[in-house]
Amino acid sequence: MSVLNPTNYTNAVPVAADSLPFYRNADGLIKTATMTQLAALLQSLASLNLAVTVISSDQSLTDEQYVVFNSAGPLAITLPASSLNTGRGYRYFNKGAGAVTITPDGSDTIAGAANLVLAQYDGGQLQSDGLGMWGTT
């Protein structure tokens, strides 16, 4: 394993022994965090309690992060514009017997498709790329 030094990495920046380097694309500067700061961040993320929104009628999604669809009949759900929601994600689960059709805004797509249809007990995650597409997992 090579060691960072000016001869093999001309842009190397010295980092304190108890810090981890992070790169931030927005300004190109190297940011650092101590192990204590990183542990505090991970602990705060672990304690997050995502609110669950149960949807049983046609509507557009807004700030919900975890959505449960529950309807005996079909539902029509519309996503917000990907370009205005870079990085936004939705976790979803269809509990109801009715099919759920999720349609993106305008010319946006869901993994290249015009919509996503969920049968009962289908679930997954949507993530906006900010460039007109919602990815799925």
Residues 54-82: pLDDT tens digits? 999 999 998 778 899 999 999 999 999 99
- Give the span between the Cα atoms of 75 and 101, in whole angstroms: 6
CATH classification for the domain delimited by 52-136, as one of 1.10.10.10, 3.40.50.970, 2.60.120.640, 3.30.230.10? 2.60.120.640
pLDDT score of 87: 84
Burial class, 98, CB count within 10 angstroms (exposed 0-12 / middle 13-18 / buried 19+): middle
Q: What pLDDT does residue 6 have?
A: 46
Determine the pLDDT at residue 18.
56
pLDDT at 121: 93
Structure tokens of 90?
Answer: 């939705």
What stretches in the chain show pLDDT beneath 50? 1-6, 9
122 vs 51, 70, 91, 94, CA distance in Å?
Answer: 19, 12, 11, 6
User: What pLDDT sits at residue 3?
Assistant: 47
Domain residue limits, the chain: 16-48, 52-136
CA 35 from chain centre, in angstroms, equals 25
